[in-house]
């Protein structure tokens, strides 16, 4: 198998192999196990809700690994856990958002170059464009990576952001994880023509669809788009065609709208299994490698699980902090009312 350039994601463990394919595999496997733990935490009542990324690990790891962590910035939705892991985000702080300890997570977005968890459909996209324009004005050479799904591609905010970016040449990569289901609405009823990348021509930018279950293909496409943006070539759309192997969220039931045969078909294209098989065929990994990754990944997933479960709840008064730079009289009135009721 081919080897991509470099993978700047989270630093490997001291005893971990450091070839790009090895790092990709370990990040994806860790994300899968942590995702399983998160679903279990929701079933146990620790998390009020959770959105799984199962099946989309390659699209997230490959795209996030292409970023320059000194200059670039990623703007996630509520499903980019594997991207956060790749960028070295404090994963206990990330998972704190799913436990509803603090909106957007308790990690440092500036230090990690990974924006706060954003639950607004299409919400990260205008933020990414605005940041990218600002960085161009500063002359920093930084590029933005905007995550969104095929469902969000129908939002007005996404269209307006792409048009604005195209007109003004913003250094931004629009990364669409087309998992073929906008909650319960299939792709053919959501995206006219079936492709988000095809819309790029209308905004005056290049667009490419790649196999979203091939981590190296996603990495290379994202890296190329970032290089183009950094060189003044403006924005691009990268559509990672993948599949949401899990329900939309832990409150969703795919049995009500999806064909089990379709799910079985995509299980055979699991991105982690595909990468592992390719590594074996190319002689890049053996049983010892996979066993060592499994041990490290499981230990890390369990560490994060235990730490977020034990994290203290914030003070209730925190809901009044950081709302405005200078609190309004209405906010002060609400706080006084809350304090009186809390007595």
For residue 14, what pLDDT band results from cuts at 50, 70 and 90? Answer: very low
The CA distances from residue 287 to 56, 96, 276, 290, in Å, are 24, 35, 10, 5
Q: Where in the chain is the domain with CATH 3.40.50.970?
A: 20-312
> What is the structure's pLDDT at 285?
94
Torsion sign over Cα 86, 99, 242, 72: negative
For residue 314, what pLDDT band results from cuts at 50, 70 and 90? Answer: confident
What homologous superfamily is domain 20-312 in, according to CATH?
Thiamin diphosphate (ThDP)-binding fold, Pyr/PP domains (3.40.50.970)
Q: Is residue 226 scored above 70 in pLDDT?
A: yes
Mean predicted confidence (pLDDT) in 177-189: 94
Q: Which of 203-207, 317-321, 328-332 has the lowest mean pLDDT?
A: 317-321
- Determine the length of the chain: 343
> What is the structure's pLDDT at 193?
87
Q: Is residue 254 scored above 90 in pLDDT?
A: yes
Q: Are 104 and 118 in contact (CB under 8 A)?
A: yes
Strand partners, 178: 241
Q: Is residue 308 scored above 50 in pLDDT?
A: yes
> What is the structure's pLDDT at 13?
52
Mean predicted confidence (pLDDT) in 280-305: 96
Structure confidence by residue, pLDDT tens digits, 231-250 = 999 999 999 999 999 999 99
For residue 328, what pLDDT band results from cuts at 50, 70 and 90? Answer: very high
Mean predicted confidence (pLDDT) in 122-147: 96
More confident residue, 288 or 12: 288
Structure confidence by residue, pLDDT tens digits, 45-79 = 999 999 999 999 999 999 999 999 999 999 999 99
Distance CA 144, CA 107 (A): 19
Strands 181-182 and 185-186 turn out to be: antiparallel
Residue identified by tokens 């700047």 is 8
Q: Is residue 19 scored above 80 in pLDDT?
A: no
Q: Is residue 11 scored above 60 in pLDDT?
A: no
For residue 318, what pLDDT band results from cuts at 50, 70 and 90? Answer: confident
Structure confidence by residue, pLDDT tens digits, 80-93 = 999 999 999 999 99
Q: Is residue 7 scored above 50 in pLDDT?
A: yes
Structure confidence by residue, pLDDT tens digits, 98-131 = 999 988 899 999 999 999 999 999 999 999 999 9
């Amino acid at each position: 198998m081919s080897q991509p350039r470099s993978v700047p994601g989270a630093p490997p463990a001291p005893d971990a192999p450091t070839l790009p394919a090895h790092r990709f595999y370990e990040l994806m496997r860790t994300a899968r196990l942590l995702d399983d733990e998160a679903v279990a935490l929701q079933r146990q009542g620790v998390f009020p809700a959770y959105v799984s990324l199962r099946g989309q690990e390659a699209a997230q790891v490959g795209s996030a690994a292409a970023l320059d962590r000194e200059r670039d910035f990623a703007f996630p939705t509520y499903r980019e856990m594997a991207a956060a892991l790749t960028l070295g985000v404090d994963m206990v702080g990330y998972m704190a958002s799913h436990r509803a300890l603090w909106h957007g997570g308790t990690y440092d977005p500036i230090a990690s170059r990974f924006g706060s968890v954003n639950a607004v459909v299409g919400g990260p996209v205008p933020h990414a464009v605005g940041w990218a324009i600002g960085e161009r004005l500063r002359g920093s050479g930084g590029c933005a990576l905007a995550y969104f799904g095929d469902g969000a591609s129908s939002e007005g905010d996404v269209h307006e952001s792409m048009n604005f970016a195209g007109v003004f040449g913003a250094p931004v990569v629009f990364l669409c994880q087309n998992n073929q289901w906008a909650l319960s609405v299939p792709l053919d009823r959501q995206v006219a023509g079936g492709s988000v990348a095809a819309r790029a021509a209308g905004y005056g930018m290049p667009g490419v669809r790649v196999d979203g279950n091939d981590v190296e293909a996603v990495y290379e496409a994202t890296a190329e788009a970032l290089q183009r943006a950094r060189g003044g070539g403006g924005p691009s759309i990268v559509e990672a065609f993948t599949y949401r192997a899990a329900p939309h969220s832990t409150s969703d039931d795919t049995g009500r709208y999806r064909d089990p045969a379709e799910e079985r078909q995509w299980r055979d294209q699991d991105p982690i299994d595909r990468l592992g098989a390719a590594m074996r065929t190319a002689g890049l990994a053996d049983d010892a490698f996979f066993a060592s990754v499994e041990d490290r990944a499981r230990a890390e997933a369990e560490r994060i699980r235990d730490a977020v479960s034990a994290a203290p709840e914030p003070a209730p008064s925190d809901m009044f902090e950081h709302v405005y730079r200078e609190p309004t009289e209405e906010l002060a009135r609400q706080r006084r009312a809350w304090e009186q009721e809390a007595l």
